[in-house]
Amino acid sequence: MSRLIVVSNRVPPPADKGASAGGLAVALQAALRDRGGLWLGWSGETAATETESEQIKTRVEGNITFSLVDLTKRDQEEYYSGFANRALWPLLHYRLDLADFDRRDTTGYFRVNAFFARILAAQIQPDDVIWVQDYHLIPLAAELRARGITNKIGFFLHIPWPPADVFFAMPWHRRLLEAFTSYDLVGFQIDYDAENFVNCLVREGLGRETSRGTFKAGEREFKIGAFPIGIETAEFTSVAVEAEHNALVKRMAVSLNNRKLIIGVDRLDYSKGIDQRMLAYERFLENTPSAHGKVTYLQVTPKSRSDVPEYAEMQREIAETAGRINGAFSDIDWVPIRYINRTVKRTTLAGLFRMADIGLVTPLRDGMNLVAKEFVAAQKPEDPGVLVLSRFAGAARELDGAVLVNPYDMESTGGAIAGAIEMPLEERIARWRSMYDQLTRYDVNYWCESFLKALETQHNVPAFGSQNPQFRQAS
Ligand code: ADP
Ligand code: F6P
C-alpha cells in the first residue's frame, strides 16, 4: 500500500494535551490510526520571525508521524484569521453578511499555501498519495503541480458549499475554482454541496462532466463526489458505556436530581446557531410552565477563533442571552441553562451524551456535524434519547430518525423540544435504531476507504442523491 500523506491546517493536540474540539482532527485521527502515514500541518504556534521558517517539528504517535510547521504572526492574521475564517468560512456557510474580502488577506492565503507546498514537496516520494483537508488549503494542489508533483492528490471539504450566486460574490472565486481542477478527486460532505460546486464550475466554463462524477478541465481530468464523513461508531459507543463510571459524569447525574437533560455541544461559532437555540429553549420554557424545575439544558461550548472580531462579538451575545434567560426563569434550586466555555474529555462527553434525554444540534448551516452522530452512538439502546437536528446540517441527509427542525424558527424548534421530551419509548427506540444502523454501516473507516478508493483507483465516485443508499432524509 502506498504511503498516505494527510495535510490539514489543524492537527490534533498531543495525546497528553487534552481534547480537540473540531470535527476534522477527531475524524482524521480515527481514519489514520489503522493505515498510518504522515500528517503535515500547522503547529498552532506563531514564530517570532517575520518570514516563515522551514524548520519542521516532528512528533510520532503510533503509526502516525506529524510534521508540523510554525507560521508567522502575519500568516496567522492573513491566512487563518483573515482569508480562511473571515472570507471563506462565512461565504461557504452562506453568510455573505459576515464575509470580509480583504486583498491583503487573500495574498497571505495564497502565500501560506505556497509555503506549505514547498515544505511538502521536499518530503513527497513517487508513490505517496496526498489527501488535502478543508478550505484553508484549496490552492495546495496547484502549488504542488507547479513544482512538478504528479502524485495522486485528493481534496476533502469538511464544510458546506453554497449555491453559485453566493460563491460568486467572492471577488477571487474564479481563481479558487481553477485551483480545484489540479486535484484528482474533490470530495464534499453531501450531494447538495457537490451539486452546488459542479454548478459553479460549469457556469464559469471551467469544467464539463464526461462520465458520472468525472470532469474535464482543459487537459486535466478529475473526479467530484460526495463522501459523508462518519465517526468511530463502535469505539464511541464503548467509551460511552465505560463513561457511566466516570466521576464527573456521576457528579452530573447527582446534580440533575432526576431532571431531564438537554445537551448541546459545539465550538463557539455563529454557524452553530447557539443563540437561536437558546431562544428556542426560551420559547419552550414560556410555552411549557410544567417543565420549569424539571429540565436542565447543558451547553458545552469551548471558545473558538477569538481573534476574529465576529466571534468575539458573538461570544458576548450568547453569554448575555444565557444570562438573561437564567435571570428570568431560575428559581432558588433550579437554573434552566448551564453554560460552560471549555472542552471536556472525550469520555466525559460520551457519558454526558448517554445520560441526556435530548441532543440539541441546531446549526444554521453545517457541513456534517459529528456531534449529532456522537450523540446517537452514545445512547442506551433500551432507553435512547431523542436527537433534535437542524435540517441545515449535512447529518440530516443521513439521520432519518432525528426530529428535524428549522433553527431560524424558534417557535417550532421550541415545540420540537416539548415533543421530544414527551416522545414514547417505542418511538424513541425505533428512531434511534434506524440511525444507529446507519452509523454502524457508514463509519469513519467507510468514509476514509471510499474516498481513498475513488482517489487511488479507476473506480467511479459513488452516485449522488437517491441512487446512493447512504443518503436518507429525516422528517
Ligand atoms: P466542527 O468541526 O465545526 O467543530 P463537528 O460537530 O463536526 O463540528 O465536530 C466537532 C468535534 O469536536 C466533535 O468530535 C466533538 O465531540 C468535538 N467537540 C466539540 N465541542 C467539544 C467540547 N466542548 N469538548 C470536547 N470536544 C468537543
Ligand atoms: O470541521 C471544520 C473545521 O473548520 C476544521 O477545518 C477545523 O479544524 C475545525 O472546524 C475547528 O476550527 P479551527 O481549526 O479553526 O479551530
What single letter denotes the amino acid at residue 257? Answer: N
Q: What is the pTM of this model?
A: 0.97
Residue by residue, DSSP assigns 261-313 as EEEEE--S-GGG-HHHHHHHHHHHHHH-GGGTTTEEEEEE-----TTSHHHHH
Residue 102 catalytic?
no
CA-CA distance, 386 to 364, in Å (whole number)? 19
pLDDT of residue 13: 82
CA dihedral angle for residue 90, residue 93, residue 94, residue 95, rounded to 10 degrees: -30
Phi, psi of 45 (to 5 degrees): -100, 150
- Strand order of the β-sheet with 153-156 is 57-61, 64-72, 37-47, 4-8, 129-133, 153-156, 185-188, 220-226, 214-217, 208-211
pLDDT of residue 21: 66
Q: Would you tell me how many other CB atoms lie within 10 Å of the CB of residue 123?
A: 12
Residue by residue, DSSP assigns 54-65 as -PPEEEEETTEE
From residue 169, give the alpha-carbon distance in Å to each of 54, 173, 436: 35, 8, 39
Residue by residue, DSSP assigns 144-204 as HHHTT--S-EEEE--S----HHHHTTSTTHHHHHHHHTTSSEEEESSHHHHHHHHHHHHHT
CA nearest ligand 1 atom 9, residue: 23
CA-CA distance, 82 to 84, in Å (whole number)? 6
pLDDT of residue 364: 98
From residue 105, give the alpha-carbon distance in Å to each of 89, 137, 342, 381: 13, 14, 29, 49
Q: Which residues on neighbouring strands pair with residue 129, listed in sequence order?
A: 4
CA of 189 to the centre of ligand 2 (A): 15
CA dihedral angle for residue 419, residue 420, residue 423, residue 429, rounded to 10 degrees: 150
Q: Which atom of ligand 2 is nearest to the CA of 80?
A: 15
Phi, psi of 69 (to 5 degrees): -125, 150
For 306, counting Cβ atoms within 10 Å of its Cβ (0-12 exposed, 13-18 middle, 19+ buried), the class is exposed
177-224: pLDDT as tens digits: 999 999 999 999 999 999 999 999 999 999 999 999 999 999 999 999
Query: Which of 10, 92, 155, 366 most suits a substitution to test ligand 2, by most atoms within 8 Å of the C-beta?
Result: 10
Pocket lining: 158 vs ligand 2, CB cutoff 6 Å: yes
Pocket lining: 231 vs ligand 1, CB cutoff 6 Å: no
Catalytic residue among 193, 269, 366, 443: 366
CA-CA distance, 374 to 264, in Å (whole number)? 12
Sites in the chain below the pLDDT cut of 70: 16, 18, 21, 474-475
